[in-house]
């Protein structure tokens, strides 16, 4: 971290401390954890200091003028001054020169952060849906939802598109956002520099539940990532005989669930997120709820109550509590 950005972080922290706020700020743009985020952050730091200097200059001049030239009895009438050519040239050139100092690193960063990545980069396709994220690992033939696992220190190239309306993929600690536009693929590329669990969310207004379209990026060590990918590529868990989970699978197979969701070997829906390994995810419902029995049950019973506008409708006729409990057991068994 550069000195200046440390001062800036300190200023922000101070402001937050004054407002009685604490916390790790999981979506802070000021805590870069990748080369891409680092590049944009140091650019912003440069601009911030130029802006701060101009701000102080203008406000000081303004206050000095107001105090020094305020009306006093007996002050002689001001000398009419219509202008001053040299001054005009000076304060036209000065901002122009400052802007050159901003523009040069800007253009350099535009080209270094335009989404180009080495050929061996891990390629992931991100597809925005109302209101969840689909992640496809192109080289691994692997698809998951809402939680993106990436290996630390490896170059990653993410292609971003949409299945319906315009969304925007954004995990602030790992870098800036790019819009997910139907019929077009935008790219970002980065190398995450530390293992961790990074949160993000959709940044382009995309309808009723725009606020409920969150995501997590889990940056794993190389071995952890390999193990995770291996597990994801496997078939879904088979519930033991006569367990609640097996009963749940039967209910799943005869309910409307199969129209939208994919569980390999059980159902082939493509509208909603795939559930083959849903039990391995830490959240459900587009990253807004923890993946535990209570939330899963509430979600199955009435998704639109938890996420307005959700395309996963209330079951008609409603499932019994026992059926829901069995379904929950089944889904949780799909590690």
Partner 1 sequence: MKSWLTTTDHKRIGLLYFWTAFVFFLLGGIEALVIRLQLAQPSGHVVSAETYNQLFTMHGTTMVFLALMPLSASFFNYIVPLQIGARDVAFPRLNAFSYWVFLLGGLFLNASWFVGPLFKAGMLNVAPDGGWFGYANLTERQFSPGPNIDFWLLGLQILGISSLAAGFNFIVTILNLRAPGLKLMRLPVFTWMTLVTQFLIITAFPVITVGLVFLMFDRFFGAHFYVHGAGATPLLWQHLFWLFGHPEVYILILPAMGIVSEVLPTFARKPLFGYTVVVYSGILIGFMGWGVWSHHMFAVGLGPIADSVFAATTMLIAVPTGVKIFNWIATLWGGDIRGTTALHFAVGFIAMFIIGGLSGVSHASPPADLQQTDTYYVVAHIHYVLFGGTIMGLFAGIYYWWPKMTGRLLSEPLGKWHFWLQFIGMNVAFFPMHFIGLLGMPRRIYTYSPDLGVSDLNLVSTVGAFLIAVSLLVFIANLWRTRSRGETASNDPWGGATLEWSIPSPPPVYNFSVIPTITSRLPRWRTELHAPMQDPPATPPGPIHVPGGSWWPMVAAFGLPLMALAPLTHTLWLAFVGAGVLIVGIYGWAFEPFEV
* Residues between 86 and 115 that touch partner 1 (CB under 8 A): 87-88, 91-92, 95-96, 99, 102-103, 106-107, 109-111, 113-114
Is 62 a binding residue for partner 1 by CB under 8 A? The answer is: yes
- β-strand partners of 106: none
Could you tell me whether strands 214-220 and 147-151 are parallel, antiparallel, or unpaired per DSSP bridges?
A: parallel
Is 70 a binding residue for partner 1 by CB under 8 A? The answer is: yes
Is 164 a binding residue for partner 1 by CB under 8 A? The answer is: yes
Task: Quote the CA–CA distance of 304 and 293 in Å, as a whole number.
Answer: 18
Task: Quote the CA–CA distance of 301 and 290 in Å, as a whole number.
Answer: 16
Is 271 a binding residue for partner 1 by CB under 8 A? The answer is: no
- Point out which span in 55-63, 216-224, 261-269, 294-302 binds partner 1 (CB under 8 A): 55-63
Task: Quote the CA–CA distance of 131 and 306 in Å, as a whole number.
Answer: 12
Nearer to partner 1, 43 or 250 (CB): 43
Residue of the chain from 1, 7, 205, 292 that contacts partner 1 (CB under 8 A):
205
Is 10 a binding residue for partner 1 by CB under 8 A? The answer is: no
Q: Which of residues 272-311 bind partner 1 (CB under 8 A)?
A: 288, 308-309
Nearer to partner 1, 30 or 250 (CB): 30
For the record, the structure tokens of 286 come out as 């587009």
Minimum Å gap between C-beta 88 and partner 1 is 5
Number of residues that bind partner 1 (CB under 8 A): 97
What are the angstrom distances between the C-alpha of 190 and each of 194, 223, 227? Answer: 12, 19, 22
- Point out which span in 65-73, 117-125, 244-252, 258-266 binds partner 1 (CB under 8 A): 65-73
Task: Quote the CA–CA distance of 296 and 321 in Å, as a whole number.
Answer: 12
Contacts of 137 (CB under 8 A, 6+ apart): 122, 123, 124, 143, 229
Minimum Å gap between C-beta 118 and partner 1 is 18
Q: Which of residues 133-162 bind partner 1 (CB under 8 A)?
A: none
Could you tell me whether strands 155-162 and 122-129 are parallel, antiparallel, or unpaired per DSSP bridges?
A: parallel
CB-based contact 187:160 (threshold 8 Å): yes
């Amino acid at each position: 971290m550069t000195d200046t950005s440390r001062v800036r972080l300190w200023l922000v922290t101070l402001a937050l401390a004054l407002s009685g706020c604490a916390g790790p700020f999981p979506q802070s743009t000021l805590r870069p954890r990748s080369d891409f985020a680092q590049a944009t952050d140091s650019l912003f730091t440069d601009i911030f200091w130029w802006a701060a200097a101009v701000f102080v200059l203008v406000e000081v001049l303004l206050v000095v003028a107001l105090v020094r030239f305020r009306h006093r009895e007996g002050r002689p009438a001001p000398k009419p001054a219509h202008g001053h050519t040299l001054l005009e040239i000076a304060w036209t050139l000065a901002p122009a020169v400052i802007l050159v100092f901003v523009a040069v690193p800007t253009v350099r960063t535009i080209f270094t952060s335009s989404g180009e990545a080495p050929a061996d980069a891990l390629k992931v396709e991100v597809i925005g849906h109302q209101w969840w994220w689909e992640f496809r690992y192109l080289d691994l033939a692997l698809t998951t939802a809402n939680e993106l696992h990436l290996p630390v220190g490896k170059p990653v190239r993410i292609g971003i598109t949409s299945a319906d309306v315009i969304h925007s993929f954004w995990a602030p600690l790992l870098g800036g956002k790019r819009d997910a536009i139907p019929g077009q693929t935008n790219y970002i590329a980065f190398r995450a520099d530390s293992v961790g669990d990074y949160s993000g969310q959709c940044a382009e207004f995309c309808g009723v539940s725009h606020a409920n379209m969150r995501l997590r990026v889990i940056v794993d060590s190389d071995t952890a990532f390999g193990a995770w990918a291996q597990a994801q590529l496997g078939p879904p868990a088979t519930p033991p005989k006569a367990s609640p989970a097996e009963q749940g699978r039967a209910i799943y197979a005869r309910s409307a669930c199969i129209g939208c969701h994919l569980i390999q070997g059980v159902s082939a829906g493509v509208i909603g997120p795939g559930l083959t390994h849903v039990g391995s995810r830490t959240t459900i419902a587009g990253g807004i709820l923890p993946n535990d029995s209570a939330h899963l049950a509430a979600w199955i019973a009435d998704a639109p109550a938890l996420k307005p506008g959700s395309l996963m409708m209330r079951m008609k006729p409603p499932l019994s509590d026992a059926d829901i409990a069995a379904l929950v057991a089944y889904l949780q068994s799909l590690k």
